[in-house]
């Protein structure tokens, strides 16, 4: 089973029942109806020019590939009806709010004629089409912007349709999916167009306050007032490959301030790297991604009421039992050196056994996407769970890419963003802690390391969903604590958790970092020490030591124990969950 995926890599996965083409990315959560093929419409014109590579390509082949060039992979812009066919169940789309009287607040000469020509040319009443539809049977509110209609600029009619769609979705408790594209505000409507930014954002806020899900999918181009309003307000924000996304377009930037722009500037890939998108989704994966997101955000605060012990029963093999029995007691220093080895299993090694599916989300929505912290949505049986993992890396190259597991401020802000989202949708949170500490460099200080850790501690303290933190390797100082404010904190038996490294401890107290081994023995940093101090609540067996042989067994044991952990919160009020976490840390 494929378990760990990124948004752009969601593929069909095998499940416990007969697999169908319509079962995607959600493990054994639900069996969807079989997909019905939708015939594509091919123009009489045999060829069409690719907007990316400039080659003349066969129209029929491009259409069958969902309007993606087979020569270079470039994406064509898509008409509204074609976009609806890509994602909606056949004949399920019901358009809404199509009556739009013409408004010309500036009495701009020729504006009414321009609107009439756009309607005649496109067959659309306005630049955005909204309505309800079903995706593998799940009802959603769908909106599609079309660049053929005055570059999908946002005037009063566009703002009215989007605000009305969100209001209807709020009243009927529907998730909203918007395919955004735009050249920005509609100049012909002046300040009235500007007001649509505030109006649509206010409607989205009411939808969000009702605990409902909104996903925006940014297509080429998404700029100006649309970027600065409804396009960037999704609970999940996705982009199509290569899409131009930005507030001020490249031409405006060059003409206004004469600044040279880096290669790939304002593409979806650029925004992903800089923390503003959760992921990039290919058209072939659009429908199954939408379905996955609908199911992942249908959580109820019952947590794991349907947990059955036998479903997650686990018994280690005789080989592991024998190995565990023969294992030698390790000193604190042995454990310190052990958790620093690159060969020690990472969170991903355990997650393979714990979660039926995991899909990664990206970015802090403010600066960047820190690879030292990975977060996303996993499924434990039929329970969606938000997963936060600190990662060091398994090779020299990966360690360097992940900054040796030392998060930057944007990593902690990404983790907090995902945890707050989990709270909104009643998803429990599982954090895997493994870091030598937060990154102690100039960049981290410039971007507010202290504030980011402090903010996590305060916000985690008040989360109204169950939080479980598991120390799987090195738990270094405030950098570890920033994702370890849990209702329960567990620790693998040979992991460590300390105020700082033994070298740092010895250097501060004895002015001699060479006494690190001695320091480790008195710091009380092992699982046994911390269990006795009530700092942790459970010690997880390693069956002779965490390595490639024991990692699957440790993961299966954790799966069983996490299920039991969630079961404890069935029927518990949200405020009570937060209160219990407060009481846990108040005792220290």
Q: Among 275, 296, 317, identify where a domain stops.
A: 296
User: Global pTM?
Assistant: 0.89
**72 and 96 in a common domain:** no
Q: Residue 161: inside a domain, yes or no?
A: yes
Which of residues 49, 76, 103 is at a domain's end?
76
Enter the tokens of residue 203.
Answer: 């409607």
- Nearest residue to 377 (alpha-carbon basis) of 289, 269, 479, 489: 289
Q: Is residue 405 located within the same domain as residue 474?
A: yes
- Residue 485 sits in the same domain as residue 575: yes
Same domain (yes/no): 428, 563: yes
Residues 58 and 100 in one domain: no
Question: Of 471, 182, 235, 506, which is closest to residue 339 (Cα–Cα)?
Answer: 471
- What lies within 8 Å, CB to CB, of 75 at 6+ separation is 52, 67, 68, 69, 219, 220, 240, 241, 242, 243, 283
Same-domain pairing of 48 and 131: no
- Report the phi/psi class of residue 484: left, alpha or beta, with left for phi > 0 and alpha for psi in -120 to 50: alpha
Based on the domain organization, do 53 and 124 belong to the same domain? no
Cβ burial of 198 (10 Å; 0-12, 13-18, 19+) is: exposed
- Does 184 map to a domain? yes
Cα(7)–Cα(151) distance, integer angstroms: 28
The tokens of 305 are what?
A: 């009421």
22 lies in some domain: no
**Residue 444 and residue 458 share a domain:** yes
Question: Same structural domain for residues 417 and 321?
Answer: yes
Residue 286 lies in a domain: yes
pLDDT in tens, the chain (588 residues): 334 444 444 333 222 222 223 222 322 333 444 433 344 444 446 899 998 899 999 999 999 999 999 999 999 999 999 999 999 999 999 999 998 888 999 999 999 999 999 999 999 999 999 999 999 999 999 999 999 999 999 999 999 999 999 999 999 999 999 999 999 999 999 999 999 999 999 999 999 999 999 999 999 999 999 999 999 999 999 999 999 999 987 888 888 888 888 888 999 999 999 999 999 999 999 999 999 999 999 877 666 656 666 666 777 787 777 777 555 678 999 999 999 999 999 999 999 999 999 999 999 999 999 999 999 999 998 899 999 999 999 999 999 999 999 999 999 999 999 999 999 999 999 999 999 999 999 999 999 999 999 999 999 999 999 999 999 999 999 999 999 999 999 999 999 999 999 999 999 999 999 999 999 999 999 999 999 999 999 999 999 899 999 999 999 999 999 999 999 998 899 999 999 999 999 999
> What pLDDT shows up at residue 348?
96
Rg of the chain (C-alpha set): 26
pLDDT at 256: 86
Q: Which is nearest to 140 in space by CA: 321, 338, 289, 307?
A: 289
Q: Tell me how many domains the chain contains.
A: 3
Rounded distance, CA 147 to CA 64, Å?
A: 21
Phi, psi angles (nearest 5°) of residue 247: -85, -65
- Supply the pLDDT for residue 564: 92
- Domain extent, residue 55, equals 36-76
Domain boundary among 271, 296, 321: 296
Domain for residue 131, yes or no? yes
- What is the number of other CB atoms lying within 10 angstroms of the CB of residue 202? 13
- Asked if the structure places residue 24 within a domain, the reply is no
Domain annotation covers residue 5 = no
Structural domain contains residue 14: no
Residue 487: CB atoms within 10 Å: 23
- The verdict on 66 and 97 lying in the same domain is no
- CA of 312: how far to CAs of 24, 96, 307, 563, in Å? 23, 46, 9, 8
| CATH number of the CATH domain containing 350 | 3.90.226.10
Q: How many H-runs (helices) and E-runs (strands) does the chain carry?
A: 22, 18
**Both tokens of residue 298?**
């249908």
Q: How many CB atoms lie within 10 A of CB 555?
A: 21
Q: Are residues 562 and 474 in the same domain?
A: yes
Decide if 456 contacts 483 (C-beta within 8 A).
yes
Same domain? For 217 and 261 the reply is: yes
């Amino acid at each position: 089973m494929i378990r760990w995926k990124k948004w752009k890599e969601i593929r069909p996965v095998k499940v416990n029942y007969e697999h169908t083409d319509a079962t995607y990315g959600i493990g054994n959560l639900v069996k969807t109806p079989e997909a019905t093929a939708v015939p594509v419409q091919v123009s009489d014109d045999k060829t069409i020019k690719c907007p990316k590579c400039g080659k003349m390509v066969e129209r029929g082949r491009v259409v069958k590939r969902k309007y993606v060039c087979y020569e270079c992979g470039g994406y064509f812009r898509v008409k509204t009806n074609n976009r609806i066919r890509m994602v909606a169940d056949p004949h399920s789309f019901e358009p809404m709010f199509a009556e739009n009287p013409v408004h010309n607040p500036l009495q701009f000469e020729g504006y009414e004629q321009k609107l009439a020509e756009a309607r005649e040319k496109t067959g659309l009443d306005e630049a955005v089409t909204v309505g309800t539809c079903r995706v593998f049977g799940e009802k959603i509110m769908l909106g599609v912007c079309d660049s053929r209609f005055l570059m999908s600029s946002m005037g009063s009619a566009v703002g009215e349709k989007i605000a009305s769609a969100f209001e209807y979705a709020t009243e009927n408790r529907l998730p909203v999916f918007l395919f955004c594209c735009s050249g920005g505000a509609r100049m012909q409507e002046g300040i009235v167009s500007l007001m649509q930014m505030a109006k649509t954002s206010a409607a989205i806020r009411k939808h969000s306050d009702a605990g409902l899900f909104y996903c925006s999918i940014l297509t080429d181009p998404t700029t100006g007032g649309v970027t600065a309003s409804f396009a960037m307000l999704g609970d999940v924000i996705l982009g199509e490959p290569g899409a131009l996304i930005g507030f001020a377009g490249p031409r405006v930037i060059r003409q206004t301030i004469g600044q040279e722009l880096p290669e790939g500037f304002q593409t979806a890939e650029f925004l992903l790297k800089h923390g503003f998108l959760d992921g990039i989704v290919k058209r072939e994966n659009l429908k199954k991604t939408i379905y996955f997101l609908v199911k992942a955000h249908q959580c109820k605060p019952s947590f794991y009421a349907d947990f059955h012990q036998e479903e997650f029963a686990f018994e280690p093999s005789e080989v592991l039992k024998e190995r565990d029995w023969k294992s030698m007691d390790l000193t604190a220093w042995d454990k310190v050196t052990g958790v620093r080895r690159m060969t020690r299993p990472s969170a991903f090694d355990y997650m393979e056994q714990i979660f039926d599916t995991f899909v990664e989300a990206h970015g802090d929505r403010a600066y960047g996407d820190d690879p030292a912290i990975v977060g996303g949505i996993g499924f434990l049986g039929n329970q969606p769970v938000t997963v936060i993992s600190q990662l060091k890396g398994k090779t020299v190259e990966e360690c360097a890419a992940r900054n040796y597991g030392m998060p930057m401020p944007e990593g902690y802000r990404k983790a907090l963003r995902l945890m707050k989202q989990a709270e909104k949708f009643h998803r429990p949170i599982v954090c895997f802690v493994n870091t030598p500490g937060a990154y102690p460099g100039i960049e981290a200080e410039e971007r507010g390391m202290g504030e980011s850790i402090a903010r996590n501690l305060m916000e985690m303290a008040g989360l109204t969903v169950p939080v479980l933190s598991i120390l799987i390797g090195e738990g270094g100082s405030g950098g570890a604590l920033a994702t370890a404010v849990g209702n329960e904190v567990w620790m693998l038996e040979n992991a460590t958790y300390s105020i700082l490294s033994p070298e740092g401890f010895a250097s501060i107290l004895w002015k001699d970092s060479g006494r690190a081994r001695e320091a480790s023995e008195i710091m009380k940093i092992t699982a046994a020490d911390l269990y006795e101090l009530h700092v942790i609540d459970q010690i997880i067996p390693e069956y002779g030591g965490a390595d490639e042989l024991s990692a699957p067994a440790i993961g299966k044991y954790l799966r069983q124990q996490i299920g039991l952990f969630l079961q404890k919160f069935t029927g518990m009020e949200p405020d009570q969950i937060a209160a219990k976490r407060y009481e846990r840390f108040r005792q220290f």
